[in-house]
Amino acid sequence: MDWAYEIKWDGYRLSIHIEPTGIRILTRNGHNWTNRFPEIEEGARELGVASAIIDGEAVMYDDQGRSDFSLLQSSLGGRAGKKTSPAQFMAFDLMYLDGHDLTTTELRARRHLLEELISARPDSAIRFSEAFDVTGAELFRASCDHGLEGIIAKHLGRPYRSGRLGDWVKVKCIQSESFFIVGYERCAGAFRSLMLGAYRGDQVVYVGSVGTGFKMREMSQLRSMMNKLPWTGKKPPVSYSGQRDIVWVAPTIIAEIEFRGWTSDGKLRHSSYKGRREIQDNAAVYRIEE
Is residue 8 flagged as an active site residue? Answer: yes
Buried b (16+ CB within 10 A) or exposed e, 171-197: bbbbbbbbbbbbbbbeeeebbebbbbb
Distances (CA, A) of 173 to 10, 24, 83: 12, 33, 31
The conformation of residue 8, written as its DSSP 8-state character, comes to: P
Q: What are phi and psi of 79, to 5 degrees?
A: -80, 150
Cβ proximity of 288 and 200 under 8 Å: yes
Q: Name the residue among 147, 204, 186 with its Cα closest to residue 7.
A: 147
Distance separating alpha carbons of residues 40 and 125, to the nearest angstrom:
5
Q: Name the residue among 214, 211, 250, 215 with its Cα closest to residue 230.
A: 250
Distances (CA, A) of 84 to 74, 243, 270: 10, 43, 33
Query: Where in the sequence numbering do the catalytic residues fall?
Result: 8
